[in-house]
Amino acid sequence: MLASAGVAITHAGVLRADVFRPGWLGYVADPLPVLRRWDESVPGERFLEAFGYTTWQSQAQKECAWTVLTAPPGSCTLVALPTGSGKSLCFQMLPRFGRGLTVVVVPTVALALDQWRSAWTLFRDIPGVNPSYFASGDRAAATVCEDVRTGRTRLVFTSPEACVSGRLRTTLEEAAAEGRLDNLVVDEAHMVETWGAYFRVDFQLLATRRRQWLALSGGRMRTQLLSATFTPAGRATLRALFGGDGWSEVVSQRLRPEPAYHLREFADAAERRRAVLECAWRLPRPAVFYTTEVADALDLERELRSEGFSRVGCFTGDTPGGERVRLLDAWRADGIDLMVATSAFGMGVDKGDVRAVVHACLPENLHRYYQEVGRSGRDGYSSVCVLLPTRQDEHTARTMTPKLIGDELGDERWRAVWATREGAEEVRTYRVRADAQRLGLLGTRSGRRNADWNKRLLLLMQRAGLLDLLDATRTADGAQWLVLRIKEGFDPHARALGPVLAEHRSAEVAGALADVDRMVEYVRRGAPLCRTLTRTYGEGTERACGGCPGCRVRGREPGECPPLPIEASPPDEDARRIVVAGCPHPLRHRTDFVRLVRRIVEGRYARRFVCAPALQRALCDTLAQAVGDPPPVPYRVDSLGGVPFAPALAETLVVLHVDELHPALLHERRGGTVVHLVTAGTPLLDFNGRYPFEAEGAALHPHPDAWLQEAPPLVH
């Protein structure tokens, strides 16, 4: 075993561990972990301490969280923040600053359980939140519904199916109608475009359900769409589904600097299996070993155990619910060193110290591959990611592309679905059975698989512009019905549907196969992966590389990690400026200054404060004392001269001048209104005897009371 692990005992009795330089790679693959992500932290407001933090991870995280917290009623906000950058805090803060319900929709059971456990740890000392996890088949499902109805929980994690057509739907409708549904959060929202388009119809029907809840709530429910990565096409799809007048985006995308990428294509599975076992013995742990097929994952787990490994887990789409919980608990508690998995173990499963990811397969597209290597290096230290496909894996990858129904079967399925139609209230709108059986299936197969194929057909017809899917409902007998609206120009009685869909189907199949081609090209030509990924995620994505084959061949060493990008707010020459003199000194007259700050925040005159860097910590402490903990509304403190920040165009900024007029603060021209608070005794007039901005028509108030009597409160 020592020899297999590359460890030997010398004649002098010294234990020696050799570096991992596999012959099939030709160079060292396991250098010591080094820090690849630099410290971007910025001072945090005191209310962050309730979540276990004293700083924000980055200014980008602060901007994303602030945008989510201050989003107006009825709005929809898209947030992109890289894996490991604190994206979850954006929605975890919502129940802290509200008394209503926040529903977090996640794509996988693994992620739901992981997020739920994290929330339990986070809110254990914060009464009233009581995070819950809803799964239709879980014994606690009825209890969760009752907790939602009675307000005993303010944070629920669940699936799109539970919201759209499952048991939770009616409960959430009631909460919306009673004004208790504050926020709908879709985590890993990039899956709406992919999974929602091809096999999980409820991901896209969630947009319809969201509109219904928004109407029931009187237009007050807010929506947040979160992910680490969005492609330009994905953002466009989400805006089409969820967008409207209240749409906004905060996109801070940067490639992960931690993974070092290695690859080798093998002629056959036996050669690959030997290399995989060598990786198990020699690569740093914890490690994840991915396969595409469930059977391959089970085989690999058995082989690892036969090698002598005991701290091994296997997580696939077929893993029962109870076993998933056990595996995730053991994984988080460092009880598993090697996790063998399919894509079911992926998005959002948070373990910071994963040091290696091995793919014993060929992922069907770069997006899946990037998501899965993203399980590693979340603590900011380098990780080893090894891609080990065989020539035969290309065929498997192509079979994983979306299955789009053919012409003849499409005709038969549409006729069966259309035959079940019942008229609805609106013109050209009908209810149809999701589980309608085409003629060839009668007496053979039925149930969920048949309904899934019907949904795929209807989704394809929707993408082709023939109809709109409006809703999914379930009757008392358990039957699922879909509500659809026939588009003008489409004859639903037509006997030949196939030719109408052929062009659209061909384009989608070609697109999916092109994704496989790009993955194959990376394996066989070794193009710089960092450059390809930057193009994939679009303009504004910061390029970073911990080492990929293309860069390695060109002699490029891993460079410094660029800061997370923030879209800067442009100066607004029309921003209103107000000068308020006679303010109490924050250090010498602290009690009076605390009272003033309390009036500003609780009266909703402003929630953003700006000062010189030396005063930021003191101002944070003052605000905490003024408004209490938890504060009634979120607030923030920024400093000029430090990390840039991005006020919204309509926001009110309160800028604090202590003992002197700070030139940098005077030049602040962002936001809708900039209020300059000047402490009493500070020289206010220039050599011409004018106060700041007098020539521009700015208002001057001799003391804070004069300003507060005139200032309008914030809208929300």
CA atoms of 684 and 533, how far apart (whole Å): 53
Give the long-range contacts of residues 491-500, CB within 8 A, separation 24 or more: 492/414, 492/418, 493/418, 495/411, 496/407, 496/411, 497/407, 497/410, 497/411, 497/414, 497/461, 498/406, 498/407, 498/408, 498/410, 498/411, 499/407, 500/464, 500/466
* Count of helices and strands (H, E) across the chain: 23, 27
Residue carrying the six token digits 């504004």 = 540
* Per-residue pLDDT tens over the stretch 73-93: 999 999 999 988 899 999 999
CA atoms of 73 and 214, how far apart (whole Å): 9
Hey, which residues does 167 pair with through a beta bridge? Answer: none
CA atoms of 344 and 349, how far apart (whole Å): 10
CA atoms of 309 and 670, how far apart (whole Å): 59
CA atoms of 365 and 388, how far apart (whole Å): 15
- 458 in the same domain as 600: no
**510 within domain boundaries:** no
Q: Which residues contact 15 (CB under 8 A, 6 or more apart)?
A: 7, 8, 9
CA atoms of 183 and 156, how far apart (whole Å): 11
**567 within domain boundaries:** no
- 441 in the same domain as 544: no
CA atoms of 715 and 331, how far apart (whole Å): 46
- 272 in the same domain as 247: no
As a whole number of angstroms, the longest Cα–Cα distance in the chain is 95
Half-sphere exposure of 42 (CA within 13 A, CB side): 23
Radius of gyration of the chain (CA): 29
Residue carrying the six token digits 């561990």 = 17
CA atoms of 36 and 33, how far apart (whole Å): 9
CATH number where 483 lies: 1.10.10
| End position of a domain, from candidates 251, 275, 305 | 251
- Nearest one of 575, 577, 635, 582 to 609, comparing CA atoms: 635
- 380 in the same domain as 321: yes
**50 within domain boundaries:** yes
Structural tokens at position 279: 């990786």
**pLDDT of amino acid 444:** 47
Structural tokens at position 532: 């390809």
CA atoms of 568 and 565, how far apart (whole Å): 9
Buried b (16+ CB within 10 A) or exposed e, 619-628: bbbbbbbbbe
Is the Cβ–Cβ distance between 400 and 292 less than 8 Å? yes
Structural tokens at position 309: 């490994």
**13 within domain boundaries:** no
**pLDDT of amino acid 441:** 61
- The total number of structural domains in the chain stands at 4
**8 within domain boundaries:** no
**pLDDT of amino acid 196:** 63
Apex 477 CA angle, 474 and 479, nearest 5: 45
Structural tokens at position 264: 């080798």
Half-sphere exposure of 162 (CA within 13 A, CB side): 25
Structural tokens at position 24: 């099939």
Q: List strand residue ranges (DSSP E) for 285-437, in order.
A: 287-290, 312-315, 338-341, 356-359, 383-387, 422-423, 429-433
- In sequence order, what DSSP letters do the residues of 610-666 get, joined into one string? EE-GGGHHHHHHHHHHHH-SS-SS--EEEETTSS-----TT-EEEEEE-SS--HHHH
Structural tokens at position 609: 């404060």
Structural tokens at position 673: 């209104």
Residue carrying the six token digits 């000062």 = 611
User: Which residue range is the domain that position 619 belongs to?
Assistant: 576-710
- 231 in the same domain as 187: yes
Reduced to 3 states (helix: H, G, I; strand: E, B; else coil), residue 522 is helix
**pLDDT of amino acid 24:** 95
Q: What are the residue ranges in the chain where pLDDT is below 50?
A: 444
- Nearest one of 250, 251, 252, 242 to 75, comparing CA atoms: 242
Structural tokens at position 197: 């388009």
CA atoms of 589 and 593, how far apart (whole Å): 6
Reduced to 3 states (helix: H, G, I; strand: E, B; else coil), residue 212 is helix
Distance set, CA 347 to CA 240, 278, 410, 463 (Å): 24, 27, 33, 26
- In sequence order, what DSSP letters do the residues of 270-323 get, joined into one string? HHHHHHHHHHHHHS-SSEEEE-SSHHHHHHHHHHHHHTT--SEEEE-TTS-HHH
**pLDDT of amino acid 545:** 93
**646 within domain boundaries:** yes
**Residue 13 identity (one-letter amino acid):** G
**Residue 412 identity (one-letter amino acid):** E
- Nearest one of 210, 179, 209, 198 to 76, comparing CA atoms: 210
**234 within domain boundaries:** yes
Is the Cβ–Cβ distance between 370 and 299 less than 8 Å? no
- 445 in the same domain as 330: no
CA atoms of 338 and 322, how far apart (whole Å): 19
**469 within domain boundaries:** yes
- 384 in the same domain as 354: yes
H/E element, 591: helix 590-602
- 132 in the same domain as 195: yes
- 137 in the same domain as 183: yes
Structural tokens at position 161: 């199916």
Residue carrying the six token digits 């000068």 = 579
Per DSSP, helices labelled H in 471-544 are 498-525, 529-537
Residue carrying the six token digits 């030709």 = 26
CATH number where 206 lies: 3.40.50.300
- 103 in the same domain as 230: yes
- 266 in the same domain as 234: no
Buried b (16+ CB within 10 A) or exposed e, 183-211: bbbbbbbbbbbbbbbbebbbbbbbbbbbe
CA atoms of 18 and 20, how far apart (whole Å): 6
- 413 in the same domain as 390: no
Structural tokens at position 87: 């994206």
State whether the Cα torsion 373-377-381-385 is positive or negative: negative
